[in-house]
Structure 1
């Protein structure tokens, strides 16, 4: 099974996310990650969904999503034609002995420290899911207190974009 990235444009109405995620759960499809945000048009939101499955499963999900009234457009994004990122905040235990080592790891990953206390450092990291996971693995040895990850967001490269055509039937 492979991971597939779906970009779904929806009407920015209450309950839309619930209907979209409900469709997945009713069909027994697992969502690996889901991120939602308003687009350049405040009446439209983009839901970025990472789903694990074969092509048939993803095609079925897409067909079912297209039946939802608030769904305007669905596009399967290919890794080679899109840019995807994930954001994470990682709070790690930091003693006076380990603080310099942690800072060095953070710099190698081009992450940044966004909060400091006597016993912890909070790190902000963005990049591919693999990069964020690799940083998380490196920091485990110091003791991760808490972690928050956004899930993947993605956009097509270059001049390509997902346009909503209101004249389509």
Structure 2
């Protein structure tokens, strides 16, 4: 089900941001099952990820409160495995300084072996962050499960030959 958007601004970026706001504002129970959490994580949550061996990369996009870059990158990489993307806000200036983050948006990467560091990307844009993260070793698109076809119960009935009828256009 959908609704017609009757707002004055129908630009692609505006509609995309409205969709992100819609997804983020859903309660946990009503959020679509494939939608990852879009809320920012705290500095303490990020610190607990350091020096921890993991089987995947963890990317944290640091951004301002009104930025959509982090949420867009999270959604861009939802179909990829061996990487988790989170976002954090730039409120804790001491923590940002400790990580070497001087401007936002910035992306900080925690490797599967526990090493971590700031990603140096020339243009801090969604497309650059997403492309870089998709290119990391081991990061690949998730395989979709094939659709399950209903199983026929009686195999004997299906052995009879059905004659095709001629069809004139």
Smaller-chain TM-score bracket: under 0.3
Q: Which has the larger radius of gyration?
A: 2
User: When the two structures are superposed, what TM-score results if normalisation uses the length of structure 2?
Assistant: 0.25
